[in-house]
Structure 1
Amino acid sequence: MRLSLLKPVINRPGPWASVYAAAPPSTEDGAKQQELTASATMAQLFALGADEATCGAVHEALLMPQEGSRGAHAGRVLFAAHGEIVLDTPLPGPPATPFAAWGPVPRVTPLLAAIGDDPVCLVVRLDRAGADFALVGERGTGSTGRHSRTASPLPRTAEGDPSGRHFRTKAENTWEHNAGEIADAVREAFEKSGAEAVVLVGEARERHLVHEKLPEPLRALTYESSHGGRAPGAESALVDRDIAQVRAVQEREHIARVADRFRTGAGPGNERAPHAAAGIPALIEAAREHRIDTLLVSPHGSDIARQVWVGSDADQLAVRGTELSYLGEEHPAVARADDALVRSAAATGADVVVVRDPDRAPTGGLGAILRGTVDAGPE
């Protein structure tokens, strides 16, 4: 899971207001319901101990429509501290249970569970003249460039005219060359983008030829959509469906690989060693030493809501508050184990994977694949 979305809140001091809200319905009384929700949320935060400035900032933000919301089918999450909205981001749907929380660390785990692994897919819309590239994933879609070559025209000739066969052969040779160049451009764009899969969109013959010219490792990660094309207006909802299916496959396979590595104790690179940790004490020790490579979180595990002690820094975690006092933290506070560990993992450049399948999830809902050596963390 790409944690760049959490950067604004990870290393910023709290306490934090975390609000998960459904977008107001697009009905006549929608504005009234929005106002009631904003007021009730502000009152709830104030009752939990939030300062007046932060309560006011949340109230004002909830009264404003969020860009890109989809009426009753959308949700949003806000994180606020010290009178400022630090992050206001859409959810793919309304939260299962809207809530507001106030605590020393932001309640980020429900957000990660909602957005999922969010794999990045390189979408290539191609024809005989070239290709357009776009990335889908990591909370959005964006163009990454264009590769164009002008193919030789195929003139009209009388049926059976030998010159017609010559021109067709020349055009096919040109397309063979263009397909090779497009394949090279796809490989380069894939390597630069960090994408996890490729979807080719265009005419069947052109898709197949580019697919065949890709290097073998990339061919295995490349899929074809039989809908849509490169021309303006050729976009189709069926293309979006195909892309969504490819990304869902990538997400399932990634989670399965991580869960298998955790279960077998394999470390980064799949080397065998005691590279897995489970249980709150072991996970906290690994987080303090910056040894978590990948944190596994199950939304329904029994350990995720256990109380742990945290300090102002992301690597200040402890089972008991006295441990942090010994480490120089004057004001240790209680937080949920899942959020404290996610904050620490994100701050040290680790990955986080949400495992929904209870058969694959760690016992208690929390586990980690560890780095081989102690890491001082990113500079």
Structure 2
Amino acid sequence: MDLAFLTPLCDRPGPWASVYVDASRFRASTDEERTLEALAVQRALACAGADEATCHAVRMAVDELRHAPEPVGRAFFATRGEVVLDPALSTAPPGTSVHWAALPHTAPLLDLAGEDPLCLVVRVDREGAALELWPDAGDGPRRAERHLPLWAADSPERSAAEIAEALVRCQAETRADLVVLVGDDAECAAVHERLPAAVRERALRARPGAGDERLGAELVRARAAHEAEVFAAARGRGEEATEGVAALVDAAHEHRIAQLLIRADGPDAHRSVWVGAEPDQVGVRPDEPAVLGARDAVPARADDALLRCAVAAGADAVSVAGADPGAGPAGGLGALLRWGG
């Protein structure tokens, strides 16, 4: 995910209110129920210690959702009586949640406000091949790109080569950054081995029997698995990746984070670090931000603090929550690194 849209959250001191609203359920409620939910958000913030002006601003923003054609959800980030940012969500959150903390709780956006990067889905069977462009959200093909003729029984090698060639052209035209092959093992393997290395590295197989509904979940899994594999390969080389809170804090100080990887349920994501007013004033001990010029240090979640560092450094971030257990960074936090500071 490109994090540039979060820049306004780095320019203001906290503390911050962060609210995630399931707008699909909210929209189906009566006016009275919507008002009560907005008031419940206000009360929850007040109980968490938020100031009255910020509580009121968030209540008004949530209440205004009744007039907006929200598809699934919206997040609100507010401080000092103002809603600073209110991004739409592409995936409904599991109910309305309310947070009051030193930093905005932005980590859930990686799973809820994805940019729907494109996957090129290639269905291969004895009937030929169909190329479809899907968003990562997995809610069905955006459009069919093309259909290729029947797989030639008398020349399967030629058929595989023709499909691979069409796949490469389509990937270049659409700029899909992930290719997912769906179909019988033999046909998919024949196409896969004829792809050039640059495309073959981003071509994955969907699990057998993936119909359209199941395929949507497979694309989410495939994306997370791909990112986890890239991280594991870089970590194996020992020079281009790191994991763990302490190592990531060091990388943030050196402005070396190129891509932050987060598994929301990892223990390190919830671990407390210490932060100052500036993004790079972060440390694993309460005295570290002072060394970096912070007047006061306050505790914050590690995932949110590192995301703030990534925003300020122009890095991006990705969720690996859909990858298989054990894949991706240990503890749930890792990064691909850039060279230099």
Question: What TM-score comes out, normalization by structure 2 length?
Answer: 0.69
1-structure distance, mates of 2:84, 2:138? 19
Q: What residue in structure 2 maps to residue 368 of structure 1?
A: 334
In structure 1, how many angstroms separate the alpha carbons of the residues matched to 2:7 and 2:254?
23
Corresponding residue for residue 300 of structure 1: 265
| Match runs of 1:1-379 below 5 Å | 2-4=1-3, 6-15=5-14, 16-23=16-23, 25=25, 30-63=30-63, 64-65=65-66, 66-69=68-71, 74-82=72-80, 83-90=82-89, 92-95=91-94, 98-114=96-112, 119-122=117-120, 136-137=135-136, 185-190=169-174, 193=175, 195-197=177-179, 216-217=196-197, 218=199, 221=203, 242=215, 245-258=218-231, 260-261=232-233, 266-267=234-235, 271-273=237-239, 275-278=241-244, 280-348=245-313, 349-355=315-321, 357-360=324-327, 362-363=329-330, 365-369=331-335, 371=337, 373-375=339-341
Gaps in structure 1 of 5+ consecutive residues? 126-130, 148-177, 201-207, 225-237
User: Residues 196-218 of structure 1: CA distance to partner in whole angstroms, max 9, x if unpaired?
Assistant: 22689xxxxxxx9xx89x95344
Matches of 2:317 and 2:83, distance apart in 1: 28
Q: 2:241–2:336: 8 Å Cα contact kept in structure 1?
A: yes
Q: 1:219 to 1:36 in 2, by over 3 A?
A: same
Query: What root-mean-square deviation, in Å, do the aligned CA atoms of Structure 1 and Structure 2 show?
Result: 4.8
- What is the one-letter code of the residue matched to 1:374? G
Task: Say if 1:350 and 1:4 are closer, same or farther in 2 by CA, change over 3 A.
Answer: closer
Residue 328 of structure 1 and its aligned partner are, at CA, apart by 2.0
**1:79 CA drift (Å):** 1.8
Q: Check conservation: 1:22, 1:75, Cα contact below 8 A.
A: yes
Cα distance change on mapping 1:89 and 1:14 into 2, 3 Å: farther
TM-fit CA distance, 1:340: 0.6
Q: Do the aligned partners of 2:110 and 2:317 also contact (CA within 8 Å) in 1?
A: no
Question: Could you tell me whether the CA contact under 8 Å between 2:107 and 2:303 is conserved in 1?
Answer: yes
SS at match of 1:44: helix
Q: Could you tell me how far apart the structure 2 residues matched to 1:345 and 1:27 are? A: 34
Asked if structure 1 preserves the Cα contact closer than 8 Å seen for 2:145 and 2:170, the reply is no
Match of 1:128 in 2: none
Matched residue pairs, number? Answer: 318
Shift of 1:45: 1.9
Q: How many angstroms apart in 2 are the aligned matches of 1:337 and 1:314?
A: 12
Q: Compute the displacement of 1:32 (Å).
A: 1.9
CA contact (8 A) 1:17 1:101 kept: yes
What's the offset of the Cα at 1:9? 4.6
What are the superposed Cα offsets for residues 129-177 of structure 1, whole Å, 9 maximum, x if unpaired?
Answer: xx99856248999989999xxxxxxxxxxxxxxxxxxxxxxxxxxxxxx
SS at structure 2 position matched to 1:295 = strand
Deviations 1:289-312 (A, max 9, x none): 122344343333333333222123
State the 1:108 CA deviation: 1.5
Q: CA separation in 2, counterparts of 1:324 and 1:302?
A: 23
Deviation of the 1:109 alpha carbon:
1.8
Give the 3 Å change call, closer, same or farther, for CA 22–187 of structure 1 in structure 2.
Answer: closer
Would you say the 8 A contact 1:277–1:367 is kept in 2? yes
The aligned residue for residue 155 of structure 2 is none
CA distance in structure 1 between the partners assigned to 2:339 and 2:18 by the alignment: 34
Distance 1:299 1:247, change over 3 A: closer
Q: CA deviation at 1:18?
A: 0.3
Shift of 1:184: 7.0
Aligned residue for 1:109, secondary structure, equals: coil
Identity %: 29
Q: Residue 86 of structure 1: CA displacement?
A: 0.7
Label 1:187 to 1:38 Cα distance change in 2 as closer, same or farther (>3 A): closer
The runs of 5 or more residues in structure 2 that have no matched partner are 124-129, 147-161, 183-187
Deviation at 1:13, TM superposition (A): 1.8
The Cα of 1:28 is off from its aligned counterpart by 8.3
Kindly indicate whether the alpha-carbon contact (under 8 Å) linking 1:10 and 1:347 is maintained by their aligned counterparts in 2.
Answer: no
Q: Deviation at 1:335?
A: 1.1
Contact 1:315–1:344 (8 Å) recurs in 2: yes
